Amino acid sequence: MGKKARAIVDLSLKELVRDLNKAYCDEWLAFYLYWYMAQTVSGKFYNGMKEALESIAKDELEHAAELADMITKMGDVPTANPMDLEKNANNSYTLPPKNSADINRIIRVVTEAEGDAIETYQKLAKKTQGKDYNTHRLILHILSEEIDHEERFENLLER
């Protein structure tokens, strides 16, 4: 970000970077959780669930990349040590269900994580509204995907 770009941000850049880094850490934890469950899921819904988890994990990794890019452009760096991801995140890591065939439990874990993500990005959307349009646009993009994720998994529960 150049001089003018920094000057028009009507928020503390330091605080904004901290918020974005927290979200970045959340995304890595979500990616790891979904990816892990995609690798280990078993039972009769194996195929559909593996596919759904893999596709959503890919989105979360993309969100992490988009947030890392924004943090870097703001002249900072995201969390470097994976050991610090949980400590720096908004939400603690949820362990996947012990029974890898418990599809309903997997869906619940995902919809809860998505609910947390929606809350985080809703807050960030409000915070950046009219204050930093560039970050605001990224947040809206991620928020809409989290809303989509929640719905996709909630629908799976209904079958």
Q: How far is the CB of 149 from Fe ion (least distance, A)?
A: 4
For residues 86 and 82, what is the distance between their CA atoms, to the nearest angstrom?
A: 8
Enumerate the H helices of the chain as residue ranges: 3-8, 13-40, 46-73, 85-88, 103-128, 133-157
Q: Which of 19, 20, 23, 60 binds Fe ion (CB under 5 A)?
A: 60
**Binding marks (x or -) toward Fe ion, 103..122, rule CB under 5 A?**
-----------x--------
Amino acid at 59: D
CB of 4 to Fe ion, least distance (A): 30
Q: What angle do CA 155, 20, 60 make, to 5 degrees?
A: 35
Report the nearest approach of Fe ion to the CB of residue 142 (Å). Answer: 6
* Per-residue mark of binding to Fe ion, 123-152 (x: CB under 5 A): -----------------------x--x---
- All residues at 6 or more sequence positions from 96 whose CB lies less than 8 Å from its CB, including other chains: 33, 36, 37, 40, 106, 109
* Contact yes or no for 29/85 (Cβ under 8 A): yes
Q: Are 20 and 135 in contact (CB under 8 A)?
A: yes
- What track of x and - describes contact with Fe ion for positions 25 through 54 (by CB under 5 A)? --x---------------------------
- Contact pattern for Fe ion over residues 71 through 100, marking x by CB under 5 A: ------------------------------
By CB under 5 A, residue 22 contacts Fe ion = no
Residues lying near Fe ion in the complex (CB under 5 A) are found at 27, 60, 63, 114, 146, 149
